[in-house]
A and B are shown apart, each in its own frame.
Chain A
Amino acid sequence: MDRSRRISLIIFAGIIILFILSWIIKSTTLLNVGTESLLSIRDAFFITFAAFLTLAIFSFLYKDNPYYKFAEHLFVGVSAAYWMCVGFWSTFVGNFIPKVSTTLSNFFEVPPKEFDIFYFIPLILGLMLLMRLSPKGGWLSRWSLAFIVGTTAGLNLIRYLRTDFITQVSNTFIPLLVDWNGIGPFFSDFSLSASGQFVMTLGNWVIFIGVFSGLIYFFFSKEHKGFFGHASRVGIWVLMITFGASFGYTVMGRVSLLVGRLTFLFKDWLGLIS
């Protein structure tokens, strides 16, 4: 046995021993707080296993290793089955079965609904989708795929046209002078508060110019020269602010997840913080 293999085995044995020790200690702790013995052993196993998986994923910070790969592959299998079960119980049993069969509804203990023969169509389309597995009948799956693609395309066309285009364009055409009563009141009531006339007016100008210059930046059919070039330069400034803000948001989100995982390790697993 070569040296590196021996070291790997020693590390593996150490992890197993630590896991068992942690499991025993956690079970004892749970027993002391009044949990039933069998439950405490089971709960302790799950908490220890979750901690092991958390540390296995963190170990990737050092380098790719077998423990990280183990956690990664386990995640793929478990989450695939999880979503299959969610789909089965919520959609198939919750939505489909009650509308097609009273017997099956009673079997699955879901209240039956009025029989609807049209619900056999998605069943047929679904079965046709599974024909993809057959080497000869694979082309039949195109029919169900065509149904999904067509419906989604029609739905998206309207949805994106409404929310991402019409609504956004309409919201960009805003008054460029907010509550305007003349130059005198503007200076006499001047304030830098967020709800003040100056800040509101400035905000509307920034939005109006920002949207147009941003759009110009993304318009590549004309060379970015002259006025177009200047506008596109303003566009990239505004875009950079957005990218910075998104970056800041992402960092905050990830750090809060990290805090959550550390809290789990130090509170739920090790019990070091109350």
Chain B
Amino acid sequence: MKRQLPLAMVFIFGFLMIIQYFIPHEYSEWVNAFLMDWMMIIGVFALALGLWSLTRVSWDKVRQKKPNWGYSIVTLAGLFLMMFFGFDYFRHFSTAVGSDNYMYIHFYRHIVIPIQATMFSLLAFFIASAAYRAFRARSLLATLLLVAALVIMLRFNPFLGPLQPIMEEFSVWLLNVPNLAAKRAIVIGVGLGMVATALKVILGIERAYLGKD
């Protein structure tokens, strides 16, 4: 019951999703749409589980006064404030219902977006220092890497003058031909790997998701 039934469920639902693709019938489409909807609904519960886990971990840190516990208060404050505004149905602070709440939108625009964008933009600095170390044309392979990266980075550079249209055309060719070829080889490998993994899961060979006991 604890292990066999989940394994049977994985097999049945996995097989069902494979079979429905080969049956071009409205019932088959109905099954597909239904299962997709179900997954999304269960996903909301998974989100709730994640939220509970975050709250418990942060609260334990605060309660036991572990190192840097003060930052967990920040996490909890951000979490509960955003939840309060996001679930605000009674329009205390809102101009509309739920996710149209003014504070909810502004928390997203002025907290989530700036932090996320800045964190990603930080990589520009780290990538520059990595490039300084990696981009030395010491071998043919390093030279190929360097040339490809330079062509892509300089293609819209207005200071190239008459070379700019040539560079642009060459970069398009580089992206559409050699880049495509290698990407295709990688994608074929990934595809085969995914198919093998999915088969292992459906047939019950891969059972790590069940956990222990």
Nearest A residue to B114, CB-CB: A50
A258 in contact with B71 (CB, 8 Å) = no
Q: Is A130 close to B, CB under 8 A?
A: yes
Partner of B49, one of A90, A92, A129: A129
B144 CB to closest chain A CB (Å) equals 4
Whether the Cβ atoms of B18 and A76 lie closer than 8 Å is: no
* Known contacts A248-B148, A248-B153: A150-B45 contact under CB 8 Å: no
> A235–B201 Cα gap in the complex (Å)?
32
Distance (Å) between the CB of A84 and the closest chain B CB? Answer: 5
A160 x B198 contact (CB < 8 A) = yes
> Majority SS of interface residues in chain A?
helix
Closest to B15 in A: A154
Identify whether the interface residues of B are mostly helix, strand, loop, or mixed: helix
Contact B42 A89 (CB under 8 A): no
**B35, B125, B144, B187: which contacts A241 (Cβ < 8 A)?**
B144
Contacts A78-B107, A164-B194, A168-B187 given; does A91 touch B182 at CB 8 Å: no
* Closest A residue to B11 using CB positions: A150
Nearest Cβ on chain B to A98's Cβ, whole angstroms: 12
A255 on the B face (CB < 8 A):
yes
In the bound complex, CA of A130 to CA of B106 (Å): 31
CB neighbours (8 Å) of B47 from chain A are 83-84, 87
Q: Among B44, B181, B195, which residue has its beta carbon within 8 angstroms of that of A157?
A: B195
Q: Which of A4-12, A16-24, A28-36, A67-75 contacts B (4 or more CB under 8 A)?
A: A67-75
| Assembled-state Cα–Cα distance A111/B195 (Å) | 40
Identify which of B87, B106, B118 contacts A53 (C-beta below 8 A).
B118
Q: How far is the CA of A24 from the CA of B116 in the complex (A)?
A: 26
Q: Once the chains bind, are B178 and A206 in contact (CB under 8 Å)?
A: yes
**A127 contacts B by Cβ under 8 Å:** yes
- Inter-chain contact B192/A73, CB cutoff 8 Å: no
Q: Which of B2-20 contact A (CB under 8 A)?
A: 2-3, 5-7, 9-18
Q: Are B41 and A122 touching (Cβ within 8 A)? A: yes
| Bound-complex Cα distance A133 to B10 (A) | 22
In this assembly, does A172 line the interface, its C-beta being within 8 Å of a C-beta of chain B?
yes
Among residues of A, the one whose C-beta sits closest to the C-beta of B180 is A207
Cβ of A168: which chain B residues have Cβ within 8 Å of it?
184, 187-188, 191
Interface 1/0 per residue, B30-53 and A, CB below 8 Å: 000011011111111111111110
- Could you write out 19 A-B pairs with CB less than 8 Å apart? A53-B114, A58-B122, A73-B75, A77-B80, A77-B82, A78-B111, A82-B86, A91-B43, A142-B2, A145-B6, A150-B14, A151-B16, A154-B15, A154-B16, A157-B195, A206-B177, A214-B182, A215-B189, A235-B182
Binding site for B on A (CB under 8 A): 46-47, 49-51, 53-54, 57-58, 60-61, 69-93, 95-96, 108-109, 118-119, 121-123, 125-127, 129-130, 132-133, 139, 142-158, 160-161, 163-165, 168-169, 171-172, 194, 199, 203, 206-215, 217-218, 235-245, 247-252, 254-255, 257-258, 260-261, 264
